[in-house]
Amino acid sequence: MIISDCHMHSRFSADSQAPMSAMIDAAIQKGLKTICFTEHMDYDYPPQPGEDSLEFLVDMDGYTKCLFDLKERYKNKIEVLYGIELGMMPYLADRYQAVVEKYPFDFIIASSHLVNGRDPYYPESYFSGITEEEGYRAYFETIMANMQAFSGFHSYGHIDYVVRYGPHRNQNYSYEKYRDVLEPALKYIIQSGKALEINTGGYKYGLGQPHPHLDVLKAFKAMGGELITIGADAHAPEHVGFAFDRLSSVLEDLGFKYYTIFKAGKPHMIQL
């Protein structure tokens, strides 16, 4: 049983309206024992088409105060951890390093969101003038570049996020097809002592798979990968712990015996 959700957002992220307390109450109702808020921090996120311009910049003072107030209020009901999700681009490494040195995060997720200023979340813009394969490959190539530029993270988030929004989603997607770019990234994660995030947002988006795809997870395990973190990427209370019951048996079938949560930046192994 998975009892920790270590990827969620509240009103402190630009794409969520959820009160932090509502997210915590939902986690308690679902029997979770530990949660970690990982609000979006994406420096230099450009305006995207078809939406009001969003700034993925966290009010760090407000976020920090609210989280630690609630952490104390709920301490006898659930463990609330303090995290951040950094939208990576190599040239932002120094700015993100300053953030992680300033605040006492338990857990830091690094994620690829933008490729040449385009977010796959807006597929008509992202895939304009390129094929699905070119769009996927360009996204995967950002992962290694981001990790080599910035090492101050604990887990790499939703490593095949782009597949949610592709013209044919995961119909033509496989690990083998993109092995030349995915394998070096997976090896780098393992060799660097980082974790790979298992993100159940893939189930929510109807892929029938978590992020990453099960074949990617098989390859990661075969390479000796052991550190995995688990999060539903919830932006609303109803998605906290989404499909965790489904994921638990999947991970066991793949040979994983533990998942990891981070407290004060230190890994703690939790039995599945």
pLDDT value for 55: 85
**Distances, alpha carbon 123 to alpha carbons 48, 166, 170, in Å:** 11, 7, 14
pLDDT value for 53: 66
The CA angle 196-199-202, to the nearest 5 degrees, is 135
Calculate what percentage of the chain has a pLDDT beyond 70: 99
pLDDT at 209 over 90: yes
pLDDT at 260 over 90: yes
Mean pLDDT of the chain: 96
pLDDT in tens, 168-178: 999 999 999 99
pLDDT value for 81: 99
Residue-wise DSSP of the chain: ---EEEEE--TTSTT----HHHHHHHHHHTT-SEEEEEEEE-TTPPP-TTS--------HHHHHHHHHHHHHHTTTT-EEEEEEEEE--GGGHHHHHHHHHHS--SEEEEE---BTTB-TTSHHHHTTTS-HHHHHHHHHHHHHHHHHH----SEE--TTGGGGGSTTTTTT--TGGGHHHHHHHHHHHHHTT-EEEEETHHHHTT-SS-BSPHHHHHHHHHTT---EEEE--BSSGGGTTTTHHHHHHHHHHTT--EEEEEETTEEEEEE-
Among 17-21, 48-52, 230-234, 244-248, the range scoring the smallest mean pLDDT is 48-52
Cβ-in-10-Å burial (0-12, 13-18, 19+) of 266 comes to exposed
pLDDT value for 51: 62
pLDDT value for 149: 98
Whole-model pTM over 0.95? yes
Average pLDDT for residues 111-124, to the nearest whole number? 95
**96, HSE (Cβ side, Cα atoms, 13 Å):** 26
Backbone torsions φ then ψ of 175, nearest 5 degrees: -60, -45
The order of strands in the sheet holding 155-156 is: 4-8, 34-41, 79-87, 107-111, 155-156, 195-199, 228-231
Q: Which of 265, 267, 266, 261 is nearest to 33 (CA)?
A: 261
Distance CA 50, CA 12 (A): 22
| Residue 241 amino acid letter | G
State the pLDDT confidence band at 137, using cuts at 50, 70 and 90. Answer: very high
pLDDT value for 101: 98
pLDDT in tens, 47-96: 887 666 688 999 999 999 999 999 999 999 999 999 999 999 999 999 99
Distance CA 153, CA 228 (A): 13
pLDDT value for 1: 87
Q: Which residues are CB-neighbours of 129 under 8 A, at least 6 positions away?
A: none
pLDDT value for 52: 66
State the pLDDT confidence band at 165, using cuts at 50, 70 and 90. Answer: very high
Using the CB atoms, write b or e for 94-106: b if 16+ within 10 Å: eebeebbeeeebb
